[in-house]
């Protein structure tokens, strides 16, 4: 009786398509523009989270908590943009865009008439930066995807 032939011990990570996807992802996050957008996004998220204490949101507990949560969420999304799975995570740029828009309108929605000029100016400025960086992240991902589809077709 013949013994069964051993099965190859390859995993999904060894598949050529997965290897190609990983190589393209590494190229996408290796460009200076993508690295700059990621670094600035990380700084913007950290500033958003710390802004209540940097700017001084005294007496605005709800807005302080809102900015802390939004800043942490933006920062975590930014960390995802820099991962080796860039092609899958750049779509989260749209979620980051939502956080940026929320940051802009949060002083009026959350704190109402209690906000000060500096809290509004801080949120509008950092929110606008977050919006621009989120759009840049999404555009970088879409541009890379379009150029790859043109190369195939």
pLDDT tens profile 45-78: 999 999 999 998 888 889 999 999 999 999 998 8
Q: If we measure between CA atoms, which residue out of 145, 52, 143 comes closest to residue 103?
A: 52
- Give the Cα separation of 144 and 134 in Å (integer): 16
Q: If we measure between CA atoms, which residue out of 43, 59, 46, 74 comes closest to residue 110?
A: 59
- pLDDT for the residue 23: 58
More confident residue, 99 or 19: 99
Show Cβ contacts of residue 48 under 8 Å, excluding neighbours closer than 6 positions. 67, 70, 71, 74, 103, 126, 130
Q: Tens digits of per-residue pLDDT, 17-34?
A: 666 655 555 555 567 888
Enter the pTM of the model. Answer: 0.73
- Give the Cα separation of 64 and 106 in Å (integer): 10
Tokens of 139: 């555009």
DSSP state of 67: H
- Give the Cα separation of 71 and 46 in Å (integer): 6
């Amino acid at each position: 009786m013949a013994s069964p032939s051993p099965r190859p011990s390859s995993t999904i990570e060894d598949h050529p398509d997965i290897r190609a996807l990983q190589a393209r992802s590494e190229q996408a996050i290796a460009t200076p523009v993508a690295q700059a957008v990621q670094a600035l996004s990380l700084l913007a998220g950290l500033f958003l989270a710390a802004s209540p204490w940097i700017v001084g949101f005294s007496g605005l507990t709800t807005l302080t908590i809102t900015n802390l949560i939004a800043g942490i969420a933006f920062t975590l999304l930014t960390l995802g943009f820099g991962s080796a799975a860039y092609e899958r995570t750049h779509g989260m740029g749209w979620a980051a865009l939502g956080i940026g828009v929320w940051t802009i309108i949060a002083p009026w929605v959350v704190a109402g008439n209690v906000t000060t000029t500096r809290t509004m100016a801080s949120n509008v400025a950092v929110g606008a930066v977050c919006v621009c960086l989120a759009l840049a992240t999404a555009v970088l991902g879409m541009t890379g995807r379009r150029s790859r589809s043109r190369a195939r077709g």
